[in-house]
Amino acid sequence: MIETKLHGDVLEIVLAHPPVNALGEAVRKGLYGAIADAQADDRVKAIVIRGSGRLFSGGADITEFGQPLVPPALPEVVDATEASAKPVVAAIHGLALGGGLEVALGCHYRIAARGAKLGLPEVTLGLLPGAGGTQRLPRLVGIETALGMIVSGVPVSAAKAAEIGLVDRLADEDRLVEEAIAFARTLNEPRRTGERSVPADPALFERFAVENARKIRGLDAPQACMEAIKAATELPLDKGQEKERALFASLVAGDQSRALRHAFFAERAAAKIDGLPKDLPLRPIARVGVIGAGTMGGGISMNFLSAGIPVTIVEMTQEALDRGAALVRKNYEATAAKGRLTSEQVEKAMGLLTPTLDFDALADCDLIIEAVYENMAVKKEIFARLDGVAKTGAMLASNTSYLSIDEIAAATGRPQDVLGLHFFSPANVMKLVEVVRGAKTAPEVLATGMDLARRIGKMPVVAGVCYGFIGNRMLIPRQSNADALLLEGATPEQVDRVHTRFGMPMGPFQMADLAGVDIGWHRDPERIDSLRDALCAQGRWGQKTQAGYYDYDEKRKPSPSPVVTEAIDAFRRKAGIAPRAISDEEIIVRTLYTMVNEGAKILDEGIAQRASDIDVVWIHGYGWPRHTGGPMFWADQMGHETIVEALERYAHRLGDAFTISPLLERRPAGSDFP
């Protein structure tokens, strides 16, 4: 776990705990002991600490959080490092994150490879840096900079770290160790960050809180981070660390941190495919074909182009093809205008795109993704045609949001090569991909789909075949109940407000207006079977027409619509429904608890591999508040008996077809979803 080597009068201490050099018990003990031994060794004039492999250290071992701690604790190790009578230099490459950066902050000097990144991302786990980070970083870089780094959790580049005084020197990575040892040899005495004072205007904290109110509202960790950093301005290091540790202990025991840590591990578990060997050979994917150059097809293409994978995109008309290629370029240029891409990167990506009207041009593609509209007959026709064009061994994927992959696969003579790759809109932005396993999908096809999704920066989750898969199937009871609640007496504003207060980025009707109220509409203005039909028939298609469930001004700012109010009243009169007062609690039960109930059915049917996969789908695909852990973890925390009791109480409002999930009903009190 710890390796040491004496270079004349400089002791090199190496954190050797792959893959991320996590600071677990053995590493802490080893580092603490190596520092102590160096103090007693007259041969050692200075010390260099570095990480092995690809990075300095990814931080603490998260699996130890909430468990009895075996000493030495990380704060003890960092304090011992800073207390060293001999100068200590941190040589940082790759990443120095969390506890890894706190170790570096305990060192007296820091030298970083030019490509390194340094940060304290504990806030993303509902925590704060608990090994002196909130006390030492402000003393080193100033309060305002420390607030920005710690409360956001976003790492900084080595160049930025040098600019703000976080590191003393930069070096090329291949010379980092050599230069660190040479630097250490020039040092005569320690320089202890903890001995510095850090004055600050108290108004700075109030101003920071106001400026970041939207990002941190309702979150425990950012507030605690600010409180700890403020302590650095008022207390000496040891007292500030006591405050920091007390705040850390409170957070680690809190609901939000438990939920955020669950989400962290859920994302890693989602990558695992039950029943498949880890060393299963994957199919090579050198070129991707995309059928359909619309918004979805273009967005899907961008994911592969950005990863350096050539794409052949096929359309039926030149006009549609030109429009699609132009939209891809426009999206790239918009990103470049924000400084996130260079013009050279834009041209490189566009150079990998081959737009064509020739369906046969897909013959040399290793993966072909169909991205046309949701119509089974059209999709089956395309896959039957692909069967005669695609080369042997090519993977064939549908981007369908709801339809059966098994039925689509049956249109080919190679169902083993067919899978679903359900991207979420906008496909070039949204992280989630549901990788749908058909009844005959070959194991290596599924594994390749998962691996490829990760290669292009997505968060893939395996789903089985059912209408809507995981995410959209759970969306159905939410939307149907939201619609029913309007007729019974709620307003779009009330339903949406309940969801946004819960932590969703938007409510059901705000989401419908953003996505397009007309998506999936039968487009017959004479057939008015629902409120949605009535709105669509009037051209109220959402934000794109400045009218949907809300009215919109030229800046897309929503306001309640008298037209919608009248349409709701008309449907109530037609159905003989007398409006009543709807409580926020009823909205939560009928729109959120019913989602949990559907999730339990999905889990029970084997459509999802594990409950945490459902959480990942909803966090990354629909904006479920991460600090609640996802719908299934949220239900675990509340207690399944609470969910069942509430659903039974409102069962008379949920329709004749509603049933409570057997899995929910049979779980013992206090148990969690599997």
Catalytic residues: 102, 122
Q: 199-213 b/e with 16+ CB inside 10 Å = b?
A: ebeeebbeebeeebe
135 three-state secondary structure:
helix
In terms of phi and psi (left: phi > 0; alpha: psi -120 to 50; beta: otherwise), the region of 671 is beta
Sheet holding 2-7, edge to edge: 2-7, 10-15, 46-51, 88-92, 109-113, 169-171
Q: For the purposes of burial, counting CB atoms within 10 Å of the CB of 672, is it exposed (0-12), middle (13-18) or buried (19 or more)?
A: middle
- Using alpha carbons, select from 633, 618, 647, 636 the residue that is nearest to residue 504: 618
Question: Residue 635 and residue 638: Cα distance in Å, rounded?
Answer: 5
- Using alpha carbons, select from 624, 628, 632 the residue that is nearest to residue 608: 632
Please name the residues in contact with 10: beta carbons below 8 A apart, sequence gap of 6 or more.
44, 45, 46, 47, 48, 181, 184, 185
- Using alpha carbons, select from 421, 451, 452 the residue that is nearest to residue 436: 421
Question: Residue 136 and residue 512: Cα distance in Å, rounded?
Answer: 47
Indicate the pairing of strand 418-423 with strand 395-398. Answer: parallel
Q: For the purposes of burial, counting CB atoms within 10 Å of the CB of 360, is it exposed (0-12), middle (13-18) or buried (19 or more)?
A: exposed
DSSP one-letter string for 75-119: HHHHHHHHH-SS-EEEEE-SEEETHHHHHHHHSSEEEEETT-EEE
Question: Residue 193 and residue 101: Cα distance in Å, rounded?
Answer: 13
Question: Residue 488 and residue 593: Cα distance in Å, rounded?
Answer: 19
Question: Residue 131 and residue 76: Cα distance in Å, rounded?
Answer: 8
- Using alpha carbons, select from 36, 58, 169 the residue that is nearest to residue 103: 58
